[in-house]
Amino acid sequence: MADNPLTPSERARVGLWLRLARCYNLAMRDLRAGLREECTMPQFDVLAQLERSPEGLTFSALSEKLLVTAGNLTGIVDRLEKQGLARRETNPADRRQTFIKLTDKGREYCDKIIPQHTHDIAKLFGGLSDNAVQNLRADLEQLSTMLSKQVEHAET
């Protein structure tokens, strides 16, 4: 790489990536600590998605929403099932299809931990002005749109 040094523009983009990664890691460390006594962050993510989908989700649909492979979800769902928070249901019309759904206990659990986690997020970013929050949201939405288009283009 010494023969091909980064341009100032490229260096700025690498710096952007490093700052995004640092902010993400710091935020996740804090948010994980808030959930530590309740569940893991991956378990929370699954529960929150299931809470938004009372009809349940297939492993495939859940993996798309969480941007992880369905295989990664198997162990998480197994643990949630053992805790009585989620259950698998086979589609009677297509026995090859399995839905993951919250149990009543899982819904009650979500009613407790989702507001707590939401409050933790609001507190985490409480030091930012409303204007800074709006600007960051807009900039990150633009970044997300651009990255999504790049992924879609790469997949075609």
Check if the beta carbon of residue 46 is closer than 8 Å to that of residue 79: no
* The two three-digit tokens of residue 97, written as one number: 């299809």
> pLDDT at position 46, please?
95
pTM over 0.95: no
> pLDDT at position 136, please?
96
Q: For the chain, how many helices (H) and strands (E)?
A: 6, 3
For the chain, the straight-line distance linking the first and the last C-alpha, in angstroms and rounded, comes to: 30
Q: What is the pLDDT of residues 99-152, one digit of tens each?
A: 999 999 999 999 999 999 999 999 999 999 999 999 999 999 999 999 989 888
> pLDDT at position 45, please?
95
Architecture of domain 39-124: Orthogonal Bundle (1.10)
Confidence band, pLDDT 50/70/90 cuts, at residue 153: confident
Comparison of pLDDT for 97 and 115, the residue scoring more: 115
Confidence band, pLDDT 50/70/90 cuts, at residue 91: confident
40: enclosing H helix or E strand: none
Query: Residue 13: helix, strand or coil by DSSP?
Result: helix
Q: What is the pLDDT of residues 30-66, one digit of tens each?
A: 999 988 888 999 999 999 999 999 999 999 999 999 9
Average pLDDT over residues 77-89: 95
| Sign of the four-CA dihedral 53, 59, 63, 66 | positive
pLDDT at 96 over 60: yes
Domain boundaries, the chain: 39-124, 129-156
pLDDT at 2 over 70: no
Check if the beta carbon of residue 87 is closer than 8 Å to that of residue 101: yes
